[in-house]
């Protein structure tokens, strides 16, 4: 089941990273600008956020499995529409649908784990899922770079369609319903409002969620700008970019592996603090390098590897700690966390642009906000009131 959940969570890196090497070719083929090409990425991330915000709260009342199945089917269908898109506008629409359906898969995969595990156990499971799912960002750009020549960017979307079909099979065969009827909290606007009040009233949940969101925004600052920075600024070829991107993705996997082995010896919050402070330190060094250090190719690439490694200590721990604060509305909690994650990423993408300075500055600012949220909002509460769930 964990393998199937990891595949569902891998929809975002698969659908993001696999077609990155083909962005310049895609723009030429459809006769459009770089800004319109980046909009296909922005709308996908926006869809990921909105999809989670809709489906997560619904799952607290309807259950997880049937919504998971619907999201997987829609993801496969959106791959077909993307592959057949006759214009960049049609592709943008298809990518929005792909994001909405992928968001359902991501939010529900997190909610299923939150249904089954708590505390350090949940942190370990989320980290293990990141390790399994971490294969996707390693393989995706390499596979995308290899496929770009033989099948083109449209062929890459046919591969994503195949991944959607595997998601459908995984839900049907491996994932049971994890939210029994007696733990569901009704439906309608009143149920949604109740869950929202419960989740948004928890200060520590807000702190961990902001840490999670801005940690991902720092990562996405790199993801969004990397095709242009690595190829245009650092002078690497598309094939070399795919290799660099894959190696940097190994940093996330490596950080997650170390994090998993350390859970139990250290509390998840301690490991999260280490990851955030590491990200902040690397952000400072990266800004200094691209502004006054001469933007040396190997220094920049080394610092970017450390950025992704730090993320391995941030995402799993922040997710587990945030979800543990709102156990009575795991779907809603997962939805708000994910909506903020990808909604913020959609904002970051056009702001970063394709410059090394914009990328480095965005990483630093996002890391600083994540550190501030963690250190100021996640201290022990003065009372237990913000943890209560009112039926």
- Each residue's pLDDT tens digit, 22-43: 777 888 888 887 778 878 888 8
The answer as to whether 242 is a domain residue is yes
Distances (CA, A) of 301 to 50, 145, 236, 293: 33, 19, 11, 14
| Tens-place pLDDT, residues 245-263 | 878 888 888 898 899 889 8
The answer as to whether 207 is a domain residue is yes
Mean pLDDT, residues 319-332 taken together: 83
The answer as to whether 385 is a domain residue is no
CA pair distance 327, 318, nearest whole angstrom: 15
The answer as to whether 390 is a domain residue is no
Report pLDDT for 191: 64
Q: Is 360 helix (H, G, I), strand (E, B) or coil?
A: helix
The answer as to whether 262 is a domain residue is yes
Report pLDDT for 300: 94
Question: How many C-beta atoms surround the C-beta of residue 33 within 10 A?
Answer: 11
Mean pLDDT for the chain? 84
Indicate the angle between helix axes 297-324 and 203-228, nearest 10 degrees.
150
The answer as to whether 209 is a domain residue is yes
What CATH number does the domain containing 58 carry?
1.20.1250.20
Distances (CA, A) of 123 to 15, 41, 120, 218: 25, 29, 5, 21
C-beta separation of 228 from 314 below 8 A: no
Q: Which two tokens stand for residue 99?
A: 């994001």
Closest CA to 238 of 20, 36, 16, 40: 20
User: pLDDT band at 190, cuts 50/70/90?
Assistant: low
The answer as to whether 199 is a domain residue is yes
The answer as to whether 31 is a domain residue is yes
Indicate the number of domains in the chain.
Answer: 1
Structural domain harbouring 126: 2-380
């Amino acid at each position: 089941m964990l393998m199937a959940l990891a595949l569902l969570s891998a929809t975002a890196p698969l659908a993001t990273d696999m077609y990155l090497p083909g962005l310049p070719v895609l723009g030429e083929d459809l006769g459009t600008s770089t800004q319109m090409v980046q909009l296909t990425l922005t709308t996908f991330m926006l869809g990921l956020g909105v999809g989670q915000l809709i489906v997560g709260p619904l799952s607290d009342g309807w259950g997880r499995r049937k919504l998971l199945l619907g999201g997987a089917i829609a993801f496969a269908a959106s791959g077909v529409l993307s592959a057949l898109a006759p214009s960049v506008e049609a592709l943008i629409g298809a990518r929005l649908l792909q994001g909405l359906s992928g968001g359902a898969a991501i939010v529900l995969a997190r909610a299923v784990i939150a249904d089954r595990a708590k505390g350090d156990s949940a942190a370990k499971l989320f980290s293990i899922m990141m390790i399994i799912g971490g294969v996707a960002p390693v393989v995706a750009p390499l596979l995308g770079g290899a496929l770009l020549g033989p099948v083109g960017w449209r062929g890459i979307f046919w591969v994503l369609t195949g991944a959607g079909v595997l998601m459908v099979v995984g839900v049907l065969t491996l994932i049971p319903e994890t939210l029994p009827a007696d733990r569901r909290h009704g439906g309608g606007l009143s149920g949604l409002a109740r869950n929202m009040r419960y989740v948004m009233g928890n200060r520590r949940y807000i702190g961990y969620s902001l840490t999670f969101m801005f940690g991902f925004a720092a990562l996405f600052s790199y993801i969004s700008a990397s095709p242009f920075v690595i190829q245009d600024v650092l002078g690497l070829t598309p094939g070399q970019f795919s290799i660099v991107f894959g190696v940097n993705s190994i940093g996330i996997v490596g950080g997650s592996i170390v994090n998993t082995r350390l859970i139990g010896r250290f509390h998840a919050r301690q490991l999260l603090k280490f990851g955030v402070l590491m990200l902040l330190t690397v952000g400072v060094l990266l800004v200094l390098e691209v502004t006054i250090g001469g933007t040396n190719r190997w220094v920049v690439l080394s610092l970017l590897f450390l950025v992704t490694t730090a993320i391995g200590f941030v995402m799993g721990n922040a997710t587990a700690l945030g979800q543990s604060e709102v156990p009575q509305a795991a779907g809603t909690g997962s939805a708000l966390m994910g909506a903020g994650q990808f909604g913020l990423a959609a904002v970051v993408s056009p702001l970063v642009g394709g410059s090394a300075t914009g990328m480095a500055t965005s990483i630093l600012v996002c890391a600083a906000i994540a550190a501030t949220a963690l250190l100021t909002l996640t201290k022990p509460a003065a009372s237990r009131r913000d943890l209560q769930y009112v039926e």
